[in-house]
Amino acid sequence: MEFDKFKEIRNHLCSKHLHVTEGKMMSSPAIHYNNKVFAFFSRKHKMVFKLGKHFKVDQINVELREFNPFKNKGPLSGWYEVDFAEKEAWEELAELALSIAKENS
């Protein structure tokens, strides 16, 4: 169910935007812009977005948590994960992450 939602978003973005493709991030399914990952589906069945170090988490009404896949390290700077309970926000966040990726390329 969670992965189906991710695939729906990925397929939509790939068909709608030039240079957006399927790919991998740490062996997880991902969405790339110009061969750089801006969103992916984690092993914990959450969607993870690259919003940047300076993104103000309080500017949106969604529970974002810093993504930390490591046991003994800090979180990946600028990456945020969102639970499936907030799936209605996944596509909007993916579009936001894509626009940030485009600005930074």
Q: Provide the 3-class DSSP secondary structure of residue 15.
A: helix
CA nearest to 9, candidates 79, 96, 105: 96
* Per-state percent for the chain, helix, strand, coil, to nearest 5: 35, 25, 35
**Residue 45 and residue 36: Cα distance in Å, rounded?**
21
CA distances from 76 to 12, 25, 34 (A): 26, 13, 21
Domain range for 60 is 2-103
Q: Which residue has the tokens 């729906």?
A: 8
The pLDDT assigned to 71 comes to 86
Cα dihedral value 73, 76, 2, 30, nearest 10: -120
Other beta carbons within 10 angstroms of residue 97's beta carbon come to 25
Number of domains in the chain: 1
The pLDDT assigned to 63 comes to 93
For the chain of 105 residues, list the mean pLDDT of each consecutive stretch of 10: 97 98 96 98 97 91 93 93 97 98 93
